[in-house]
Structure 1
Amino acid sequence: MAGEGQMLRAAREEKKWSFMDTEDTTKIRVRYIQALEEEDYGILPGATYVKGYLRTYAKQLGLNPDEIIELYNDSIAPEAGPVLESPNMLVKARPLWVRPMIIGSMAVLAIVLAIAISVNQSGKKVADSPYSPPALPSAPKAEAVTPETSPTKTDDNTPGPNSPVVSNPENVVAATQDGLTAQLVFTQLCWIEVRVDGQPPFQGTFTAGTTKEVKGTSKIELLTVGNAGGLSVTLNGKALPSLGKSGAVVRNVVLTSDTLKSP
Structure 2
Amino acid sequence: MEESTDTRPNTDANMPGPGATLRRTRKEQGLTQEQVATDLHLPRRVVDALERDDFAALPETTTYLKGYLRSYAKLLGLDAAPLLQSVERLVGPALEWVPTQPATAIEPGFRGVHWISGGVVAMVVVLLAVWWTGDSVEEDADMSTVAEAPRSESPAVSPDDEVAVAELPAQSATAEVLATPDAVTPEPVTVTNLTPEPAAAPPAPQRNDGQNATGEDRLQLSFSEASWVEVYDANRQQLLYGLFKGGEQRTVQGTAPFRVMLGYAPGVEVRINGEYYDHLTRVRGNNTVRFNIARPSDDL
User: What TM-score do you get using the length of structure 1 for normalisation?
Assistant: 0.37
Is the helix fraction higher in 1 or 2?
Answer: 2
User: What TM-score do you get using the length of structure 2 for normalisation?
Assistant: 0.33
- Does 1 or 2 have the higher relative contact order (CA < 8 Å, sep 6+)? 2
